[in-house]
Amino acid sequence: MGENEIHDVIRVLLNRRGVLQGGAGAVALGAAAMSGGAAFAATGPKRKVILIPQDAGDWNAPARVGCRDFCSLAGWDFQHTGNPVYSVENHVEQVNNAIAAKPDIIITELESVGLVPAFQKAQAAGITMVIFDQGIDAEATKLGVSVINQDELATGVAQGSQAAITAHKTLGKTKGVFGVGNGNPGSTSIDKRQNGTEQGILDYNKANGTSFTVDKFADDEFFDPNSSIQKWSAKFDQYGDDLIGAIAVGGPGPIVKAAQGHNIEKGKIVIGTFDARPDVLELIEQGWIFWGIDQGFPSMGFYSCAAAWLWLERGYPTKTIRTGADFVTKDNLAAVKARTDKWVALAKQYGDMK
């Protein structure tokens, strides 16, 4: 089962609201709207959802907005929690704390096999588990848990191809080094992003006769910006003009600062990244980075809750939904900024962002 069932949820909601025409129906629809979707909630009992990102921060705010949107429609309660300092141990502790709160549903990542016992503990307690953002597919299958995320490896390959095309067609390069960072080595999605980017570059070589090489390294881009700037600066020093590209797996800010520190003009080397947060969009607009990749975080949050609803209320398992992989460049920046502004405004309204 997949997106068709998710669309069924939306159709149920629209159909229920659509039949309420005039008189008492209009009153009921108005009451439903004021109560956060009571008409939809009538299809099942009230539920409690806890979203636990692997580490707390604004990066997961759009997923929280998506969860809140669905929970408002369904009349469910929503809570999020998380530790700002990432480690597998801290993530497990947060899941265990959530289990103690006895929610109906926990939405979290399965970025490491170290999370598997926590998932099993939650399931033994009767809690429905849903994976968002990062998921080890083989372990998720064993657990019978839905995975709602971007296909990180395939998107990484697409990013590598984009990097090579930009170097070759835009900058006129046929050889040179691409640095490809990794902000969280050992984390399944981040490793796939990095490895896929390398594969995309090397595949482009085979198809186009170019001779690009790749230097993959841990660059601290997610958790220590100052360290990341230093590591990228070292790469600029090491390779000089041979470094034709600097690719991030989600945090391009340190690359830009390192390039500025080396007096590299914008557009002179290929800089690109996963993700499309507001800060990434700003760097695209400024001309420092060629692209970001919007993985549809609001969709992840919404679909994760909908997958839980389908299982709990209809008995339909949702195996996998892949969201996003939309490349964002100056050509489509205005449209992406417009939809981003919507979730940012809601995140601020909900208190999920300052």
- Assigned domain for 334 exists: no
Quote the pLDDT of residue 41.
53
46 shares its domain with 100: yes
Quote the pLDDT of residue 27.
30
135 shares its domain with 253: no
Quote the pLDDT of residue 226.
97
Quote the pLDDT of residue 30.
34
Which stretch of DSSP H or E encloses residue 23? helix 23-34
Quote the pLDDT of residue 1.
45
CA–CA dist 147, 32 (Å, integer): 30
Q: Model's pTM, two decimal places?
A: 0.85
Torsion (CA) 296, 302, 307, 308 in degrees, nearest 10:
140
166 shares its domain with 287: yes
179 shares its domain with 127: no
- Assigned domain for 329 exists: no
In the beta sheet, which residues pair with residue 135? 110
Selection from 115, 113, 86, 97 nearest residue 50 by Cα: 97
Give, in degrees to the nearest 5, the angle at Cα 149 between 106 and 38: 50
The side-by-side arrangement of strands in the sheet containing 243-248 is 211-218, 175-182, 243-248, 270-273
Tokens of residue 43, six digits: 């299809």
Tokens of residue 190, six digits: 């981040």
286 shares its domain with 172: yes
Residue-range definition of the domain harbouring residue 313: 3-11+35-150+296-323
231 shares its domain with 311: no
Reduced to 3 states, what is the DSSP secondary structure of residue 312? helix
Domain count, the chain: 2
158 shares its domain with 243: yes
Quote the pLDDT of residue 145.
96
Quote the pLDDT of residue 136.
95
- Assigned domain for 318 exists: yes
Quote the pLDDT of residue 89.
97
Quote the pLDDT of residue 319.
86
- Assigned domain for 19 exists: no
- Assigned domain for 27 exists: no
Quote the pLDDT of residue 40.
57
176 shares its domain with 288: yes
User: Residues in the chain with pLDDT < 70?
Assistant: 1-42
